[in-house]
Structure 1
């Protein structure tokens, strides 16, 4: 069997023709530099990958190997990040593969209208991610030595009173945190061209302390990104007594959260593989 027949085409993203070259030393999955495949006014960034790893069945097995998956995801994201520095790409799923160049061209032809529609919407824009996390449990433990412990309950009534007071304080803290996150989201949405609310991040999976309240993405014009960042950074002045709130800003990313025609719709350009969903790094 020839070498060519053992290779598949890994597709990273779809974009418009590039006005600037990618870095000469850029490498993708397998350490291979990506190349541009132009077709009908669109460009797919592709690279060769071995069939033994990226055919449907071996890819399914590899996706259960966290080390392999992590290495592949880093290589995939490295290419997307480089592409985002010179254009506004539409990222495809991790593990999007086709048999050959003809399959990639067919994908571009079939999805041309949708690709162009999405590329028009995200043109000149990047994605910023914002999270708000309530760290009430951890600070309470850290401050235990500094804060006098409540008096030991002298009776069942005292115990119930202390418990009720703790619950009231927790509920009030949640209400303040949720109000802060809601107001922040409304403020940031007014400064963005579009916004998406994602499900709160599970702390047991992210290994981040506290409880995630807001997990949102904002589509922001590149030209206005500096003002958007300053707006997020200035939120510390709005927290008041809620010093146990943590606001995190990530980006700029490719517009991962805005590649579907409608919120919740499948993103365009998924390949025939069993790849994981398109998602910006967390």
Structure 2
């Protein structure tokens, strides 16, 4: 039977998995597959696996429980091996890199931050700060049939928005980096110009959250900061 893999931990990591079930209906029994100093937390994979809420929640619950007791290399939802032997083979082949990764995330958790800005506020700033945008904007308002100028204005606005958002994203990351041990920037999503994950020491979690709040307050009501965590360190595996 194929094997569903949740995470990799070292062999000293407690497996307090009582009361938890794995993915599937009914949920599979959780167990460990060991190789050397590593163990993979697994269950039997269901015949058909889809990203249903129940299975996503089961996957996340296993990771959160493991994270409470130490370093975890979390696997993304849906990772399946052919059998225990294949899992052992992968653990053995990657033992050094897995051990290094476990050392890097030990005592640390991930926080994901998404930052968005009110579009009207940004556009007002661009119009006020760019003579070319202001000139084209005034011309197209006075000449609503001037299609070429409208296209030029749209292209110029798009370029200005991209440039300013990229700069603001760099500024936010730089201002928060001192409160974290590392960061990983992902593609923007959900209208957020910044989608970044930070690796934070557990004992500095409160300080990091305060730093995010201070940055949000500094930027004002036109910005929305959405912080999630603590999370398993998905972005640093």
Specify if TM > 0.5: yes
Equivalent in the alignment of 1:47: 43
Question: Could you tell me whether the CA contact under 8 Å between 1:177 and 1:245 is conserved in 2?
Answer: no
Equivalent in the alignment of 1:129: 112
Match of 1:187 among 162, 169, 175: 175
The yes-or-no answer on 1:248 pairing with 2:226 is yes
Structure 2, unaligned stretches of length 5 or more?
A: 124-137
Equivalent in the alignment of 2:236: 258
Residues 32-60 of structure 1 deviation map (CA, whole Å, 9 limit, x = unaligned)? 2311222201111010124x33xxxxxxx
Match of 1:69 among 39, 51, 54: 51
Distance in 2 of aligned mates of 1:43 and 1:107 = 11
Match of 1:15 among 9, 12, 20: 9
Q: Secondary structure at the match of 2:197?
A: strand
1:161–1:231 distance in 2 versus 1, CA, 3 Å: farther
Q: Compute the RMSD of aligned alpha carbons.
A: 3.2
Instruction: Give the TM-score taking structure 2 as reference length.
Output: 0.76
Equivalent in the alignment of 2:209: 229
Instruction: Give the TM-score taking structure 1 as reference length.
Output: 0.65
Structure 1, unaligned stretches of length 5 or more?
A: 1-6, 54-61, 63-67, 141-155, 204-210, 260-282
Match of 1:216 among 196, 207, 218: 196
Distance in 2 of aligned mates of 1:184 and 1:161 = 39
Higher relative contact order (CA 8 A, sep 6+): 1
Residues 244-265 of structure 1 deviation map (CA, whole Å, 9 limit, x = unaligned)? 2101101111111111xxxxxx
Post-superposition offset of 1:174: 7.8
Distance in 2 of aligned mates of 1:104 and 1:252 = 28
Distance in 2 of aligned mates of 1:223 and 1:186 = 21
Question: Could you tell me whether the CA contact under 8 Å between 1:126 and 1:253 is conserved in 2?
Answer: yes
Query: Deviation above 4 Å: which 4+ runs of structure 1?
Result: 161-164, 166-180
Q: Secondary structure at the match of 1:223?
A: helix
Distance in 2 of aligned mates of 1:199 and 1:9 = 31
Distance in 2 of aligned mates of 1:158 and 1:38 = 68
Question: Could you tell me whether the CA contact under 8 Å between 2:109 and 2:232 is conserved in 1?
Answer: yes
Post-superposition offset of 1:233: 1.5
